[in-house]
Amino acid sequence: MNVTIGINGFGRIGRCLTRIVSTTPDSGITIAAVNDIASADKLAYGLKRDSLRGVFPGTVLSRGDHLIVNDHPIQVFNQARPDRIRWAEANVDVVIEATGRFRTGGQARSHITHGGARKVVISASADDPDAYLVYGANHDRYDSASHDVISPASCGVNALSIMAKVLLDRFGLHSVSTSVVLAVQGWQKVHDTLIGTSRDDPRLGRSVGQSIIPHNYVAGELVSVALPALGDILYSYYCVPTPVGSLAELSGLTDRPVSSEEINRAMAEAAAGPLRGILAYDPDPTVSVDVKNNPASCLFDPSGTRTTRHGGVQVRGWFDNEWGFSHRVLDLARLVGEHAPVSAADECWSLA
């Protein structure tokens, strides 16, 4: 089955989603429309020329209110308010809300109530979605009848949750604390800025290139929302000036003492088995840039594993905060789209 999506916000995540779909044969996803406050010309330029991902490996044109990507037409809307985007006209089933501006369940739901879409996936740790679904950790809890607006939580939560799931399932895990070190985000500022950051903590308006910036990021808690058996967790979160490639570390207590070798073996087995594609495993000595373009939620680094005689464990994983996360957003779009009724346009595309 093919799922027809629309993307609101053609920024870092919106363009990664488009690159992935456009370069993956049989992705199972068709992008029917995008919406942004930028013109179609600019969206085409942004897709073609990307400082992190390189030149687009295909053709991109803008023609009127359409982008033409590898000969596939994508309708472009230019609306600043989500309740004004006419997704139904483009036969969009699932909207990916990727502006970073409309992160509450209520705001994102207007893609359904006003735009005519059937489901929404917010590409962020939203407030009050119908469900937080971390692909590979708890996406089996998806309930098509009651979950219309879904959040995958954040890229860091995805990386942490996948390592936590393996430890939890194999050894039992509690008393967890986590740490995320995140590459530069588009909302950060080149120079110190005191207004216009829309974030309460003034440190988040500080110059991105000069500091390690702590972020009181509540999304860390969402690891235990995805995996409630973990109980409460402690978390910390730091923004650093690297352009892409981020770090997740998790520590806690297992039900019985385990060795580093046992843990690394469990991770390698999960990466080759049930979590293939979501968890990756690299025995080589790695640094953050090595994870660039890796589609997994977490690239497990066995050299980071530590254990104590009393069941203390510590593990490390890397993640491409854009690329891996965008793959999981698309996994969720497929999950929720496949449970939605097939649109008439879908059937036309299939017959074409």
Ligand X SMILES: NC(=O)c1ccc[n+]([C@@H]2O[C@H](COP(=O)([O-])OP(=O)(O)OC[C@H]3O[C@@H](n4cnc5c(N)ncnc54)[C@H](O)[C@@H]3O)[C@@H](O)[C@H]2O)c1
Shortest distance, CB of residue 177 to ligand X, whole angstroms?
22
185 binding ligand X? (CB under 6 A): yes
31 binding ligand X? (CB under 6 A): no
Q: Which two tokens stand for residue 347?
A: 């059937």
- Do 92 and 119 form a contact (C-beta atoms < 8 A)? no
Looking at 100-108, 199-207, 255-263, 332-340, which segment touches ligand X (CB under 6 A)? 100-108
Looking at 64-72, 93-101, 288-296, 343-351, which segment touches ligand X (CB under 6 A)? 93-101
Rounded to the nearest 10 degrees, the angle between the axes of helix 12-23 and helix 323-338 is 70
* DSSP category for residue 127: B
Q: Which of 150, 80, 89, 78 is nearest to 115 (CA)?
A: 89
- Do 5 and 95 form a contact (C-beta atoms < 8 A)? yes
Does the annotation list 13 as a binding residue?
Answer: yes
Looking at 31-39, 105-113, 231-239, 248-256, which segment touches ligand X (CB under 6 A)? 31-39
Shortest distance, CB of residue 326 to ligand X, whole angstroms?
8
The amino acid sitting at 35 is: N
**Pick from 90, 131, 155, 271: which binds ligand X (CB under 6 A)?**
155
**Pick from 3, 4, 5, 11: which binds ligand X (CB under 6 A)?**
11
Shortest distance, CB of residue 244 to ligand X, whole angstroms?
8
Shortest distance, CB of residue 92 to ligand X, whole angstroms?
15
Instruction: With CB under 6 A as the rule, give the number of residues binding ligand X.
Output: 26
The amino acid sitting at 127 is: D
Q: Which long-range CB contacts under 8 A does 276-282 form with residues at least 24 apart?
A: 277/327, 278/135, 278/136, 278/162, 278/328, 279/136, 279/162, 279/163, 279/166
The smaller minimum CB distance to ligand X, of residues 212 and 352, is found at 212
Lay out the site mask for ligand X across 319-338 (x = CB under 6 A, - = otherwise).
Answer: --xx--x-------------
Shortest distance, CB of residue 264 to ligand X, whole angstroms?
27
CA angle 178–99–154, rounded 5-degree value: 15
- Do 35 and 77 form a contact (C-beta atoms < 8 A)? yes
8 binding ligand X? (CB under 6 A): yes
Distance CA 133, CA 127 (A): 13
* DSSP category for residue 47: H
The smaller minimum CB distance to ligand X, of residues 121 and 168, is found at 121
The smaller minimum CB distance to ligand X, of residues 11 and 304, is found at 11
Q: Which of 94, 198, 219 is nearest to 152 (CA)?
A: 219
- Sign of the dihedral defined by the CA atoms of residues 292, 49, 208, 17, in that order: negative
β-strand pairing of 246-254 with 173-182: antiparallel
Q: Which residues bind ligand X (CB under 6 A)?
A: 8-14, 35-38, 80, 98-101, 103, 123-124, 154-155, 185-186, 321-322, 325
Going by the annotation, the residues of the binding site for NAD(+) are: 12-13, 36, 123, 321
The residues assigned a catalytic role are 155
